[in-house]
Structure 1
Amino acid sequence: MRAIRMLRALAPLLAGAMLVGAAPLAGAVPASARQPDSVVRTEQGSVRGRTTADGRQFLGIPYAAPPVGPLRWRAPKPVTPWPGVRDATEFGHRCAQSSSWDPGYEDPTYTEDCLNLNVYTPTASAHEGHEGHEGHEGHEAREGRKLPVMVWFHGGGLTGGAGADVVPDTFAAKGGLVAVTINYRLGAMGFLATPGLGREAADRTSGNFGMQDQQAALRWVRANIARFGGDPDQVTIAGESAGGRSVCTHLASPTARGLFHRAIIQSGAYGDCGARDRRAANADGTAFAASLGCDDPATAVACLRGKPAKEIVEAQAGHDWGPVTGGSFLPEQPASAFAHGRYAQVPVLNGANSDEGTLFAFGAYDANGTPLTAAQYPQALRKAFGAETGEKALARYPLDRYSTPTLAYGASVGDQLMACPALRLDARLRTRIPVYAYEFADRTSPPFESLRDLGTDFAFGATHVNEVQYLFKHFGHDAPLNAEQRALSDQMTAYWTSFIRTGIPHAAGQPDLPDQRTRPGTVLSLRTASAGGNAPTSALHSEHLCDLWDAAAATR
């Protein structure tokens, strides 16, 4: 998967890639979809979706003009309205990206016409079927009230993935809400910054095209979601890994103000939600352009726009792709914005997984057929964290505490990369807004789709991405959860959907997620009944050795 390929290259980006190969817009509409309630008129034109047992699906709806030709590396533009009724029964193209080992992603795609989204809305009958989940969704639908909305940003290290990576139809039906998943430009197509592109930008800052796509999708939601039964004044943005980092970025982005009202960050606080400095991003982009033969500053932009997407994608490995500070989109680093109160004052649900790093350790070593050995372990830590911090980590993560060097290395990577940044984010935000903290800790959780049947000599545990299958469908189908895990899935769905509806995560008969304003540092550990069930803990800072990693982060 993309996380593993990126770790092979030792890049700092993260993955959450999981998904289905997306299909292009189709022709004939299946007879099963030709129902009166499956046609909705948006501001751009009518779309015909399909009806399932859980509700209605409207797939591949364009929310911005295709960013092709002269629109490549420009802020997203409005969609040209279309006549008639547009088929919305198939996923649209995913954005240009290289291949990975996820099912459906074995082959790269170089399609730039990809700015589309998917809407999942429950029907009254679907509500009634799940009314026992929280008790009022069916009544709400029957009364004709507008439903709260979740907009999901996919993971994939900002270089891969698509809105189709998860299918939240059952989640939406159980929670009595409308769910939206989106595509956004990735890698160099979404985050290239150069001086020439900066001169074209209204704020003189380039490199935020993918994030601007996400905000364009949010504006589409604000304008159109009421037509699908959603409430534009109750929008929650949510995402995992790079999607969670995107949420963190929008919290700090002045141009996102008013586009959302709650936020969910899953494994997204890595790097303290940091962005690239404009000068450094321009330097990296200039080097990228030169690698493609576009080294004349006077003609570099035109030269790059003339390159086939295939060349752009194939040249982007080894570069850092992500948001850029210095313009009106992101005037300052998110950590600075959070420290000074310059961010969206909305409730936040934030957390990480207990064994995040196992996936990355596997990707760095075992996936290459070269498992980490005890002899290699000290140098692996020095390489990952630098000489000084690596030596300290060697003393704090001794091999005799772990069954394999991979798990020892994974524990250090997960703590440094995910667990401790999540706790630091809680502390930064809780002074001004409600922050509800969790840790997904089902160490018996089945590896997500791409990691199954790999024959490793260790369990992945509650690793990166594994919690997502407890909320949504992977590849359009349910995860292979046992009865206890299914119960935990239902509880997590209740917490998440309650937060989306009310701003407070609650599950009947379960402890509440701790509010960091009144219980700072206390986190709800999400576990199966046989592992003790969901329980609050104040020990995560010490369990993840965050004194070491907080000190290291302070010196960056």
Structure 2
Amino acid sequence: MTATRRTLITGAAALTAYAALPVVGYAAQPRSPIVTTTAGKVRGYVQDGVSVFKGLRYGADAGGERRFAAPVAPQPWTDVKDATAYGAASMQTGKGEEGEALSEDCLFLNVWTPAKAGKKGLADGAKRPVMFYIHGGAYNGGSGASPWYEGTKLAKRGDVVVVTVNHRLNAFGYLYLARLFNDPSVADSGNAGQLDLVLALQWVRDNIAAFGGDPGNVMLFGQSGGGAKIATLMGMPVAKGLFHRAATMSGQQVTVGGPFNATRRAQAFLDKLGIKDLAALRALPADQMLAGMKAIDPIAAAGGVYMGPTLDQRSLTRHPFFPDASPVGLSVPMMCGNTHDETKGFIGFDAKAFPKTWDEVIARLPGQFAARIDIDPETVVAFYRQTYPNYSPADVFFAASTAGRSWKAAIIQDEERARAGAPAYAYQVNWKSPKEGGIFGAPHTIDIGLVFGTLDAKGSIVGAGPDSVAMSNTMSDAFINFARSGDPNGGALPKWEPYTLERRQTMVFDTVSRQEDDPRGAERKFFNQVPFTQFGT
């Protein structure tokens, strides 16, 4: 069935029924599932044996007077809302997914469920694990509508309920105004985007049983910025109890923004717009407000102004993984991963961007470290040339920038969990993308398609050959096992032990996957010479 209009939908949980949607010329099409949620009835469609609901509204319109405020639940409705097209994504400087609307009215989520209709509709009592995916794009862009996150294959393979979500981004979700305007309506402005995710999880708690899922077994997983959002949620008391497993994929959040730096950034944003009062800021058209993101960041002294979660002493009263792992999240089993060649994913998959000389590596490394670590690049290059004498300049550049840019933060999360007696299952993807003969190695984002099984999705770097299918099955099963029990072991994997400080056990996903103790240990020890600073904080 083809959706012909974008719909605004709301959601929650109760019973389910089936009713036919009219489809011209096809009298015997699968019948369309109707689910009764706490806000009203919603109608999805069936695809490859999976019931799909898109654009389910979990929050009210966040525009107008609600701009910068904490989200609220939607108003109930009495008719049946079509849930056959993705809802709008948050306002952002990019274009969003193909054909996707951008709006402040963006609090929507999507559900894929293998539950079959019965006497109680989709609420069949099976209590399937819920795999709730949070998209990447830092805190600035992206949406849950990417074809890479299409949940049909994952739902079928694992007999799980898959959820993706949209929430407020950039200044709409993270502009900290509380110290600039004495107005209670902006008290939560620095973490509004995180509170959107909390509201979405409350929707899952209240509604997912109606879709055949178990509200008592919700796993968060997310790549890049999605992983960072999850790490932040693990330090938020208001999110405690709403999820029961967590997997961060190439995305970590050791510290969040302090209130004074966040205020300086907000002031730079306002100065760029030429706005001095809250009423004028709220009245500004949403697309014009995005122009403030072009302000020079006053802390980094370069680039656009950073937006991210803030230590506001309301929803966030301490850093997620500093000075240790937040006690709020210690009861949640955790998986923490990175890819071997993260920064090869940040060059647009352009082989011409590979540095060719040692001088070029030395010149470009500081920009990659981007205030995360402060270390002499000549010393870095000398270390790598001695440790890996066969590495080319490009090999050293990508290895060093990966180690100093994001891998270091993943190690901190693993270490702090281990110190607290609640270790993480650490992983590293070594399996190489077949793109252009494998020259891009295992870059940032490669684990998305492997876990979802969306091997042939538009723009995929995973490939759809036999090796790709085998690697995808292995990774997907590990995530499904983790969602089901909090332990990724089983299937084709060798034994995978939680991370300890003594051994630093790490699952290396490759054509032949294996557990290794302290992979890249020499690099880890080398970068321990200098402190790591989470970018933006």
- Quickly name the TM-score band, shorter chain normalised: 0.7 to 0.9
Shift, 1:348, TM fit = 0.5
Question: C-alpha separation between the residues in 2 aligned to 1:340 and 1:103?
Answer: 35
Q: Distance in 2 between matches of 1:302 and 1:419?
A: 42
Residue matched to 1:552: 530
Supply the distance in 1 between the matched residues of 2:235 and 2:52 (Cα, whole angstroms). Answer: 32
Determine the C-alpha separation between the residues in 1 that align with 2:468 and 2:502. 27
Aligned to 2:271: 290
The structure where helix makes up a greater share of residues is 1
Alignment of 1:58-137 (within 5 A): 58-99=53-94, 104=98, 110-124=102-116
Contact 1:255 1:328 in 2 (8 A): no
Is the alpha carbon distance of 1:387 and 1:145 closer, same or farther for their aligned partners in structure 2, counting shifts above 3 Å?
closer
Report the AA paired with residue 516 of structure 2.
T
Q: How does 1:98-247 map to 2 (within 5 A)?
A: 98-99=93-94, 104=98, 110-124=102-116, 144-165=125-146, 166-195=149-178, 199-201=182-184, 204=187, 206-247=189-230
Q: Which of residues 483, 500, 513 in structure 2 aligns to 1:534?
A: 513
The C-alpha deviation readout for 1:269-309, integer Å capped at 9, x for no partner, is 2xx53210011101110110111111x3xx2x111111111
Alignment match, 1:421 = 409
Q: In the alignment, residue 354 of structure 1 is paired with which amino acid? A: H
Residue type matched to 2:98 in 1? G
Q: 1:256 to 1:95 in 2, by over 3 A?
A: same
1:373-388 mapped onto 2 (5 Å cutoff): 373-374=356-357, 375-385=359-369, 388=375
Secondary structure of the 1:423 match is: helix
The alignment partner of 1:464 has SS state of coil
Q: Deviations over 1:146-175 (max 9, x none)?
A: 111111100011111111121122111111
* Distance in 1 between residues matched to 2:508 and 2:70, nearest whole Å: 41
Q: Is structure 2 residue 434 aligned with structure 1 residue 438? A: no
**2:383 pairs with 1:396:** yes
Letter in 2 for 1:327: Q
For 2:229 and 2:180, locate their aligned partners in 1 and report how far apart those are by CA, in whole Å: 22
Letter in structure 2 aligned against 1:303: A
1:92 CA drift (Å): 1.0
Residue 499 of structure 1 aligns with which residue?
A: 482
Relative to structure 1, is the Cα distance of residues 233 and 337 closer, same or farther in structure 2, using a 3 angstrom cutoff?
Answer: farther
Going from structure 1 to structure 2, the CA distance change for 1:355 and 1:428 (only over 3 Å counts) comes to same
Distance 1:432 1:542, change over 3 A: closer
- Going from structure 1 to structure 2, the CA distance change for 1:39 and 1:342 (only over 3 Å counts) comes to closer
1:312 aligns to 2:289 (yes or no): yes
What is the CA–CA distance in structure 1 between the aligned matches of 2:215 and 2:288, rounded to whole Å?
40
Conserved? CA contact 1:23–1:91, under 8 Å: no
What amino acid is the match of 1:332?
Answer: R
Query: Given the alignment of the two structures, is residue 248 of structure 1 paired with residue 231 of structure 2, yes or no?
Result: yes
Secondary structure at the aligned position of 1:380 is classed as helix
How far apart, in 1, do the equivalents of 2:421 and 2:242 lie? Answer: 19
TM-score (normalizing by structure 1): 0.81
2:15 matched to which residue of 1? none
Aligned length: 494
1:326-341 equivalence runs, <5 A: 326-336=312-322, 338-339=324-325, 341=327
Structure 1 pair 354/552, CA: closer, same or farther in 2 (3 Å)?
Answer: same
Match of 2:439 in 1: 459
TM-score, with normalisation over the residues of structure 2? 0.84
For 1:489 and 1:458, locate their aligned partners in 2 and report how far apart those are by CA, in whole Å: 17
Deviation at 1:552, TM superposition (A): 1.9
Question: Is the 1:505–1:512 Cα contact (8 Å) retained in structure 2?
Answer: no
Change (3 A) 1:226 1:340: closer
Q: Judging changes above 3 Å, is the alpha-carbon distance between structure 1 residues 501 and 519 closer, same or farther for their aligned structure 2 residues?
A: farther
Distance 1:513 1:327, change over 3 A: same
Q: Deviations over 1:45-90 (max 9, x none)?
A: 1000001114100000110001110011111111011221000011
SS of alignment partner, residue 322 of structure 2: helix
Contact 1:203 1:327 in 2 (8 A): no
Paired with 2:229 and 2:404, the residues of 1 have a C-alpha distance of 19
> Which blocks of at least 5 consecutive residues in structure 1 are unaligned?
1-21, 126-140, 448-452
Structure ranking higher on relative contact order (CA contacts 8 Å, 6+ apart): 1
Q: Is 1:39 matched up with 2:34? A: yes
Residue 4 of structure 1 corresponds to which residue in structure 2?
Answer: none
CA contact (8 A) 2:205 2:242 kept: yes
Displacement of 1:347 after TM fit?
A: 0.5
For 2:393 and 2:317, the matched residues in 1 are separated by: 42
Q: List per-residue Cα deviations over 1:89-134 (Å, max 9, x = no partner).
A: 111111111226x8628x9x64211110001101359xxxxxxxxx
Q: Establish whether residue 267 from structure 1 lines up as the match of residue 247 from structure 2.
A: no
Amino acid at match of 1:421: A
Contact 2:115 2:124 in 1 (8 A): no
Query: CA distance change for structure 1 residues 480 and 377 in 2, over 3 Å: closer, same or farther?
Result: closer
Amino acid at match of 1:331: T
